[in-house]
Amino acid sequence: MENHSDKNIQNSPSAVRLPMLLAATLAGGILIGATFFGGRPAYSGDIVRNLNKFREVLTWIDNAYVDSVSTDTLVDYGLEKMMTHLDPHSVYIPRKEVAAAKSQLESGFDGIGVEFNIFNDTVFVINAIPGGPSALAGIRSGDRLLKADGTSLAGKDVDNRLIFSKLRGMKGSVVKLDIQRRGEKDLLHFNVTRGRIPSYSVSAGYLIDDKTGYIKIDRFAESTYNEFRQVLSDLKNQGMQRLLLDLRGNGGGFKDRATNIVDELVGGNKLIVRTDGKGTQFDEETYARKDGLFEKGPVVLLVDENSASASEIVAGALQDHDRALLVGRRTFGKGLVQTPVDLSDGSEIRITVSRYYTPSGRCIQKPYSIYDSDDEDRYKHGELFYADSIKLDKKQAFKTDGGRTVYGGGGIVPDIFVSADTSYRTPYLYQLAARNIMAEYAFNYALSHKQDLSKMPFREYLGSFQVTDRMLADVVTMASASGIRRNDTQFARCKGYLREQLKALIASYIWEKKSGGLRNELYQVLNANDPTYKKALACFPQASQMAAVK
């Protein structure tokens, strides 16, 4: 091995700038940390020593490493690994990914206003959002997007990232689209001016019967509380007296949107959630503070193993105050709060700053050590199928307002357990989903039968429309043409599930969303045979007794 002394190293301009940029970036982070965590000195001895070590290593790599290396890439990699070492939820987001990460919780984005899907390497318009740029330009459901500003949107290389990069853009900018329309010989050309497109997180809100309302929230995003309040008000005006709130699959989002929703359901000035961090900056107690829209009627809350974070704040508060009856399965178990910190180069960290506690005092964060295995362990131990297989930490027992015992230490256990149905999950079904076979078949069927089906009231469709064996056979044929080998045994296991999915998808394509982002027809079909949904409806007498105690 050759040895080169320091005097042989000549710093390149980038190497000279790099330590200064790195120092400025880290110093900025330290100042933010000092402000957040109680004003400790910005530069401790450990920080200075480790900063110098980082500078030395990067300088040697930049000047001496045998191949060309991007130090920016190395720094991004190092910061990413540094954050994952803290806990499963603290993350580093490179500058190029920040906008996409933030958009997941924003109330909208700039684009052309279409919902699309990729079938057989072709981009189909599923829905041109009413009143949006594409609808105003004349684009319709069923149109095939072939090119955007001359870039092909067809072929094996087309994916969501490419499509988003071409269709989204600055409000007021123009994108030129080449479109193939069913029944038209020639290509159609559109110049679409991008606009602000709303993004919705409340996906359903309808009356199940003359007194029971149903609301489903997908995530707690920027506009979630306003959406929820509007839907809740509309349902009340239609005569709703009891509420079924669905948070299954809701992975969380903004904490204050969750607490605001609880405030609409909980009366008085009761505690909703408490947070506790290293110092006092992030220690906070949030209380109900206003007259909510629905503080007295019975509430049933649906949760499952994918209900996490902000969903667990809602579930914990409603359960601890005996305000809602929880139905489903144990929640995910994320009791940590992150805050975003913008770095000087446009990148971002989201760092865990506190734990949250439900009103009774529960911390429902599960151990970090089981994160990678928890899903599999729940399945193997039978927790998804048998209530008595749920592991409860008896040392973390707490009491609700009404004296019921609840437990901390890893998720929120519902009051009424409903077993998961996994019997239909087969490799054959997974292949159909991966190739978009069900969505493609339902879309084509809806296009071919839209004129007749759209004349039918949805209630009639819900009660009478059946997915026939002939339709299922056509799905199998389509799958075979896409290279999916037929498996009669597996197909028989998932046949019932396929019928429900196809009926729901066809309904969503026929009764397109008109406003507010609600997909009521889709969920009314899916919920009709959903065991957890049906069990929840049967539990309203118990929820009514709980509400009457208030």
Residues in a beta bridge with 538: none
Spell out where 34-134 has E strands.
Answer: 91-93, 108-111, 114-119, 122-128
Which residue has tokens 């991004």? 76
Pair type for strands 284-287 and 212-217: unpaired
pLDDT of 3 higher than 70: no
Task: Supply the pLDDT for residue 8.
Answer: 42
Task: Supply the pLDDT for residue 156.
Answer: 84
Q: How confident is the model at residue 379 (pLDDT cuts 50, 70, 90)?
A: confident
Question: Distance (Å, rounded) from C-alpha 93 to C-alpha 339?
Answer: 13
Q: How confident is the model at residue 346 (pLDDT cuts 50, 70, 90)?
A: very high
Task: Supply the pLDDT for residue 516.
Answer: 67
Structure-token pair, residue 380: 């193997």
Mean pLDDT computed over 372-384: 88
Which residue would you say has higher pLDDT here, 251 or 42? 251
Question: Distance (Å, rounded) from C-alpha 113 to C-alpha 132?
Answer: 5
Burial class (CB in 10 A: 0-12, 13-18, 19+), 9: middle
The CATH number of the domain covering residues in 108-198? 2.30.42.10
Which residue would you say has higher pLDDT here, 260 or 19? 260
Q: Domain map of the chain by residue range?
A: 13-69, 108-198, 202-417, 427-532
Mean pLDDT computed over 523-549: 94
Q: Which helix (H) or strand (E) segment is 399 a member of? A: strand 397-399
Mean pLDDT computed over 353-362: 95
Least confident residue range of 12-16, 92-96, 236-240, 455-459: 12-16
- Percentage, residues of the chain above pLDDT 70: 91
The two domains 108-198 and 202-417 share their CATH topology (first three levels equal)? no
pTM of the model: 0.85
Estimate to the nearest angstrom the gap between the alpha carbon of 305 and the chain centroid.
14
Q: How confident is the model at residue 127 (pLDDT cuts 50, 70, 90)?
A: confident
Q: What is the assigned CATH class of domain 202-417?
A: alpha beta
Task: Supply the pLDDT for residue 2.
Answer: 41
Q: How confident is the model at residue 373 (pLDDT cuts 50, 70, 90)?
A: confident
